[in-house]
Structure 1
């Protein structure tokens, strides 16, 4: 299902998005009518709309569009993606884009907060996202490297910069646990994910530091964070094995599960 500005999305509008690939989005997990960090998701859309289109987006209108597509007392958990794009954007004159619409789509949720998915084995590959602070729709570079990692026998990809420092995963933030049990977030240009931001606000004992190869090899555990799955352990990065059952990761899961749901 897909709706544009609260009504069924016309094929011409979807075709325009597919052909121009210019816009931004956020993805949220709806659980029994509520969303963790709903305000952060809405704030992201507003800020990114200013950056991408130079115009203001009404967060309450976005909320209403989500309610129309995903409301109605729908039980259980599912994913909602809100994509903001201009159906009339002209490839030859993108500066004229300024009337973005709100596309809402839904899909099944991959897991639940209380039942974590299996740990991931990831491969480090060099990559720097264009406009890393914006959650934009241009995913080719990320997906190309995810594909390469999976063809190499890994579950996913972990990006490093030209300097070799760890930054983020393909569609998730990365975190680590050092020998003292401190949570370490990479010091790098990354997309500030909603789940990561909620955890940073809810938990103490966290630092931000450059994660070099040497530092990575000194960590006792590693994890990924995403709205889709919450906190997910990493069992290995390349040839470096980690404790998937580390108690700090368990504590992070509990803290995330305790974040209250905001009603749509």
Structure 2
């Protein structure tokens, strides 16, 4: 399903997004009509709309259009993309009138199998914004998969870890959860876990990873997913705290749109 402002999107409108590719989005996992962290998703859309377009977003309008795509039962991923079909590359500086595109796709059965990731030196443009400009992230994901890994993990020139292309990373040492203190997109799942489980933030370098007991990835679609390998380093596929985090996240009540 793909609707723009509550109506089927036209080819011309979709072409504007495909060719200009300027906008931002959030993806929500919907389980039996409920969304975990709904307010965080909506806050993100409002914040990013100001950053990308310089205008305020009508949250109730977004909720109305997203509600149409909500399944009554089962699980789906509902993506809300904010873009302006009237903007093009030659007139990108024009006043913006952002529109609301809602699309859906099947949600994977949780928990997903462990990830093996390859580290690459890369920083997303405006990392605090969940933008539709995913070329760099997908290029590194593609190259990592062709090299035998599942995805890419981003580090800077000093080997400081920041984030995956579409997910956050956390580490476990003893009973402690450690989130990298680096410039990144703070995901809704990461925020929710920080609300329910003690944690700390610290600068994490690649050389530090061998000293940790386990690692995991988070985003709204995958929940909490074990990371079993980082470059040539093998990490445990099971850890009690990984299981606990997954249970804590799963037990969080969802919200109605």
- TM-score w.r.t. the length of structure 1 is 0.95
| Corresponding position of 1:196 | 190
Deviations 1:164-191 (A, max 9, x none): 101111210000012x221110111010
Q: Is this contact kept in 2: 1:38–1:262, CA < 8 A?
A: yes
The unaligned stretches of length 5 or more in structure 1 are none
Kindly state the Cα deviation for residue 111 of structure 1 after the two structures are TM-superposed: 2.1
Aligned twin of 2:150: 155
| Cα displacement string for residues 104-155 of structure 1 (whole angstroms, at most 9, x for unaligned residues) | 000000123xxx1111111111110000000000000000000011011011
SS of equivalent to 1:81: strand
Instruction: Please state how far the C-alpha of 1:223 moved relative to its aligned partner.
Output: 0.3
CA distance in 2 between partners of 1:25 and 1:212 (Å): 29
Please state if 1:53 is matched with 2:50.
no
Q: Which residue of 2 aligns with 1:125?
A: 120
Give, in whole Å, the separation in 2 of the partners of 1:228 and 1:151: 23
C-alpha distance in 1 between matches for 2:62 and 2:196: 26
Shift of 1:7: 1.1
Q: Secondary structure of the equivalent of 2:55?
A: coil
8 Å Cα contact 1:3/1:9 also seen in 2: yes
SS at match of 2:93: helix
Q: CA deviation at 1:235?
A: 0.6
Three-state SS of the structure 2 residue aligned to 1:150 is: helix
- Assess if the C-alpha contact under 8 Å between 2:76 and 2:107 holds in 1: yes
Q: What is the deviation of 1:68?
A: 1.7
Equivalent position SS for 2:221: coil
Contact kept? 2:189, 2:220, Cα under 8 Å: yes
What is the correspondence of 1:246-257 to structure 2 with a 5 Å cutoff? 246-257=239-250
Q: Between Structure 1 and Structure 2, how many residues are aligned? A: 257
Contact 2:16–2:88, Cα closer than 8 Å, also in 1 = no
Does the 8 A contact of 2:83 with 2:98 survive in 1? yes
| 3-state SS of 1:153 partner | coil
Runs of 4+ in 1 over 6 A off after TM superposition: none
- Partner residue, 1:19: 19
CA shift digits 1:73-130 (9 cap, x unpaired): x210000000000000031221214101000000000123xxx111111111111000
Deviation for aligned residue 1:161: 1.0
Matched, 1:223 2:231: no
Superposed counterparts of 1:1-264, under 5 Å: 1-70=1-70, 74-112=72-110, 116-178=111-173, 180-204=174-198, 206-264=199-257
Unaligned runs of 5+ in 2: none
3-state SS, counterpart of residue 63 of structure 1? helix
What is the CA RMSD across the aligned residues, in angstroms?
Answer: 0.9
